[in-house]
Amino acid sequence: MWQIEEPKYFLAFIILPILLVVYVAHYIWKKRKQKEFGDQLILQQLAPESSFFKPFLKLFVVSLGITFLIIALVNPKVGTKIETVKREGVDVVFAIDVSKSMLAEDIAPSRLERAKQIVSQIINQLGSDRIGIIGYAGSAYSVLPITTDYAVAKMYLQNMNTDMVSSQGTAIAEAINLAAQSFDNPATSKVLVLLSDGEDHEQGFEQAVLAAKDAGIKIITIGLGTEKGGLIPIRYNGTIQSYKKDNAGENVITRFDPATLKTIAEQGDGAYIYGGNTKDVVEFVKNELNTLEKTEFESQQIADFESQFQWFLFLGFLCLAIDVLLLERKTAWVTKLNLFNEKNNEK
């Protein structure tokens, strides 16, 4: 099983055709100059030990050496060892409010971008925990099922936007219910991290919170926005064109409402924190997760890839060393073999 660590260095192979073009150009120039100097037969008599084949051999050896050095830079790896890895942790599902009100910029860069920053920083602090992501507005949508692939999770996280869910509102109850369905291992500790500005929420979330509590799910809520509120920008190609307006044509001001989030945390035996300072929020969530029991939830086999660049590095320098030692005059023992019938041609 092979793996390439730095595939970008394959671009260095452009050196080989450039080297070939330079060599051919130099060879043609040299032949022209030799013709200007004198007859080809006389030149051969003046330099009888000059080899026609050796310059091409040197070109081949140099090209081979460069090829090996480029492969060394690419660093191919081969899987030589299989290990059994046991992972312990908790299951964490992030439910992120993607309603239009999350576009408000009363906290920089915006409520939604701050939510994504917080989730990304929390993921950075996790060890072997499994994570999932949900987006919700007027309805809830599973962005990423439970996984241990943090890189993929961050990719999906960065692509989240307010156009993911067509219906507007803040369906917290549906988000909680969907999160409860996302946990696929009843033996693990379960945490739902819910991020929202708390505005325009639907009623009836209490039943969903109690059901989650009975299922052993701890709910941590994070509030985003300010009580002063902010306008909801409408952008086109990254530029603000206008702001969202109500039926009377007035700009809509969206205000942060922490009451619902605090109620959810209280009823769900969880915790609430205001998301004004990302560092404080990340530390808070990390401490909450550390209080939970870690459960072994996965045992998988992985290949331990070992770097092989050193072999190609050695071969590359060996080829370059051979090129330095390889002279352009004829090799005595090869001449004796008379492979190309040179002796007969000289008569």
Are residues 224 and 109 both part of a single domain?
yes
Domain membership of residue 342 (yes or no) is yes
Q: Which of 110, 184, 116 is nearest to 155 (CA)?
A: 116
Are residues 293 and 314 both part of a single domain?
no
Are residues 120 and 68 both part of a single domain?
no
**Is 193 within 8 Å of 94 (Cβ atoms)?**
yes
Beta-ladder partners of 92: 131, 191
Are residues 96 and 175 both part of a single domain?
yes
- Quote the mean pLDDT of the chain: 84
**Is 270 within 8 Å of 213 (Cβ atoms)?**
no
Domain membership of residue 81 (yes or no) is no
Domain membership of residue 280 (yes or no) is yes
Q: Computed over its alpha carbons, how large is the radius of gyration of the chain?
A: 34
Are residues 216 and 277 both part of a single domain?
yes
Domain membership of residue 337 (yes or no) is yes
Q: Check residue 164 and give its pLDDT.
A: 81
Are residues 55 and 124 both part of a single domain?
no
List the CATH number of the domain containing 180: 3.40.50.410
pLDDT digits (tens, 9 = 90+) for 157-195: 999 998 887 777 678 899 999 999 999 888 889 999 999
Q: Check residue 346 and give its pLDDT.
A: 47
pLDDT at 143 over 90: yes
pLDDT at 198 over 60: yes
Are residues 104 and 233 both part of a single domain?
yes
pLDDT at 50 over 50: yes
Are residues 290 and 313 both part of a single domain?
no
User: Tokens at residue 84, please?
Assistant: 């059994």
Domain membership of residue 327 (yes or no) is yes
pLDDT at 345 over 80: no
Instruction: Give Cα separations from 239 to 80, 158, 233, 236, 299 (angstroms).
Output: 52, 19, 9, 5, 48
Residue 83: CA atoms inside 13 Å, Cβ hemisphere, count?
7
Task: Tell me, yes or no, if the pTM score tops 0.75.
Answer: no
* Domains of the chain: total: 2
Residue 260: CA atoms inside 13 Å, Cβ hemisphere, count?
21
**Is 85 within 8 Å of 304 (Cβ atoms)?**
no
Are residues 170 and 277 both part of a single domain?
yes
Are residues 111 and 178 both part of a single domain?
yes
Domain membership of residue 263 (yes or no) is yes
Q: Give the domain extent around 18.
A: 2-75+308-346
Domain membership of residue 80 (yes or no) is no
Are residues 159 and 256 both part of a single domain?
yes
When pLDDT is cut at 50, 70 and 90, the band that residue 48 belongs to is low
Domain membership of residue 171 (yes or no) is yes
Are residues 295 and 195 both part of a single domain?
yes
Beta-sheet pairing, 239-243 with 233-236: antiparallel
